[in-house]
Structure 1
Amino acid sequence: MYKVKVHRDVEKFLNKIPKRDAERIREKILSLKDPFAQKPKKVEGETDVFRIRVGKYRILFFIDEEMKTVVVSKVDRRERAYDRL
């Protein structure tokens, strides 16, 4: 099992979107305690950044194997998720 850390910008974003969407995303983030069970896809052009899809949103994260930690760095709509990684 991995620890899951969430960047504060992600929390701010989740507070701005519809509650139903935010709840679904939070559930998916909690499930990242076992990140490989989610079958994440690597983000093209990035070395260690993974993504998972939750409806029209994307959760971007990286895995620190040494610290056994998943760091959720960004959540956004698909159109904007890959801007300024």
Structure 2
Amino acid sequence: MPYVIAEPCIGTKDASCVEVCPVDCIYEANDQYYINPDECIDCGACEPECPVQAIFPDTDVPPEWSDYIERNRVLSEG
């Protein structure tokens, strides 16, 4: 169950999540950070650090942001 960074990150791009990730699976894109789902170890360290509550387990992404699950994967394949 990898974590996903959704729409609230756009425009904020606070790096607090990057700093706490023990496996360095969070990367910067043009408009947001994203999590590489193949590298994420599901530790959850990033979720409470996000000041805009943009990080969710992939099974709990709000329906209006469900396309961010695929977006994180596509960005990681870059």
Fold equivalence (TM over 0.5): no
- More relative contact order, 1 or 2 (CA 8 Å, 6+ apart): 2
More helix by share: 1
Over alpha carbons, which structure has the higher Rg? 1
Provide the TM-score with structure 2 as the length reference. 0.32
